Structure 1
């Protein structure tokens, strides 16, 4: 797995744009800062809600373009500051600068999202048609769907994420080719008929019939302004008498079709209801998008400048130094506590570090992931999480050895018991990381991401490296015979020839206690008696004292449950 991972990265460096080091976030590398000032149609149009909605749209654009760890904030309540790590492309900067305008366009052609081959004969026939001087209306397919527009529609593949970044509105008086924001369909749209500024409000809720009864379905209620109502009446009058898809109008936001409902009847009062397979979340999202379209603002770019790292390489070096120091402490403790067995911990930590580095570098290449200083902190915390799994496993093995099992059986039984503990512990850590990632913002999400990632790596290493290595080591004489330097020396573990059997009882080596099966008998290891619990030491002392009493000539006594049989008899039984 490690070879395949790094082979992919090396192949990417040769034939792609991959790098052997992970990309760094804004706080460690610096980047480009763009300051935008909204330009409203009226002075009172810019509010805190307007700014927040604009920030949400810009963040959606940036995330869709593959740029991670970008910082988008408001400044002074009337400006937007966008900080992009590294050297963003001009296309990414255009996504930030472009205004998010909402518009209503009629649907002329609707098709599958994937690209389709162009029919040369059909294209030639369309090109041979005489050009009309003027359209018969916004839904005139013959006028607006030219051979060039048809070719653009055929070539567009909306299943590709890069074709759904939006941000580039088309000419309001010409046909426009656009993708559905989910990548499920693509459209040829007519000219703009209603701008987003004509929307008065949009709300989501449960639909109702004409009598007021609830339909049990989520809908979006749309209301137009006094200026927009007659426009919408005219549009619905034309579309209601047309066949599909000419009876649909597309709601376009940020150059993407967010909804394309069909018109069933003329709506003269400017109050429409959009229904369909909505959930509560999707209906609320569409309502918010429609409300954003009713607050049209464009952006004036005030400045574009390079910014230095807010923390810089010095803090990164200190963070890495802290990680190395913590790793050394774990290594020293492991070697002191587990002798040669501690080398398994060292090897497992090295494997975990290599796998983690490879995954982060791979994600930087294919997903645009960037490592921030909080992410480095998550990697440092992972050292303790990973070492904890090894300690749990080793202590389980040593417990089984103390109980008299040979090393091979101790490894099998110890792994069976430790595996459940490790899974439970890592499940808790991973759940905490997921919750933190979903609820947090900013750099805290970077910490949560690396914490969750390293938790999964911990499971991978323990199951596919540490345990198999222990099975192999258990077959060597050095570990199987309990060499003093192995970390499994029976004398240091407190294994004794007298074994505690529970409830104040002890058993001699190989002796089967009452209620135990023959498989429970374990081979003893003749060593000292250190490391016992208080109950074990007391039981062993009583057994030793009983064994040291000299024999006497009194006849043997047989004790039964019959009180009458309580007198000693002179039999030799």
Structure 2
């Protein structure tokens, strides 16, 4: 029978709309102004800290909606921003510098909704407020590291081929000067190194020497690798430390943009992103006496570093391994000494190197060197911040046996420091230090204004479209309006459900545009029905032909729009991607609501009946 859907299809449409409405529901509960309290330098909040904060807020007559301790961090929710700001100042004054006190916005979604994965849409920086950093990668350090790695490789390769050299040292513009003991081996050495390093330019500079430097292509590759590795590590670090909906992307040749929605505390954001800590594993030179270290007369392959107590330790310059080989790190407690430790897991290459090194150096001491880059407050001639390298020996232990990819680091101080170090090691070591060249803090009031204006524009657009439909198409216009409302609900529900989708101001523009475009399909269908009636078709057949006949045109028009959105998403960044996502979702969902959704409503009203006239 014409214009009758089977029961399963009716139930399917109802179920889809019900699920969309369920997952769109968290957006009506809003967010609570909150204060987040977390430790700095590895310090963690505990039950005593929670009790102190509760007593402080009670004595200050600052009521809270809730206050909980979870994963070493305290989250206190308030009824309004006035109490939130006062509470932040009071708590910061009470706890001092051992804790980071940050303003935040916490979703107030009911527990039963959260239990089924219901969460509100993630808002971008322009809607929620937050912090935006423009960071620059220190390419000089990255190229210097690459130069050191090249020199180590050259020495190893020349020794392997029994080519004697007298010096392999650094020269200008990150080049390496190689001096051979036998001039007759220069041709052999040059050919060997050209085969091993195709991205290196070699220039002969004497009878027994030549210089090596990265080619233009190799230099570009090194710069790109530094940026891409830092991007990956920053994303992992932000994820590890609990900052949601962050935007981290490359800008230009040497810069990275980081946007942290919802964070109003710039100091907290700097703490999250600025950590450049890593570890180096080095052998201790036991032949150097304390007197020689005090005089500074140590071998050229050795350097002196200080431990936590300020005592000098003579370390071999060449590191056994660096933090780039660490794939996992967790904090724990040594069962024998009850002291904190960090359990480290290396990758396959690192495990092989550590196994071979410990095999050859049994009963010798090995040190763990903690390396961190810090802003020293100075700037170079170009106005860039100068980062200083700070190093500290955190552990010296005798190698008792051969071990590989899994081992423990002790001597890290407190359990909180062990956990903090494990987070930094787990998220990775930056291949080159980064410095903040620009920072902006966007207040929540500006985001609230954007949301209000966007909602106003959307509601006015929706009202005008609904009025047009009712005036021109009468009952069919009402059906189209209901489908349009269902379309909006499904868009919001799907955006709330999909991970990684963030609503921005351009995204609101995409939703508003899809409101108008979603009516196009109904206009085509309704006009086709009216045309079929004018041509003398029976009512039921006209309805059937209207929907079937308009399908091809609707599909082609919407498909081209979706393809355009895909291209925008692929080549665009930030706001452009937000616009592309919402437009594509809105148009795709409109094909469902405008065709299947309205067809079901029309079938309920007119299907299987003898109809003489349509309200269209």
TM-score range, shorter chain: 0.3 to 0.5
Higher relative contact order at CA 8 Å, sep ≥6: structure 1 or structure 2?
A: 2
Higher strand proportion: 2
TM value normalised by structure 1: 0.46
TM value normalised by structure 2: 0.43
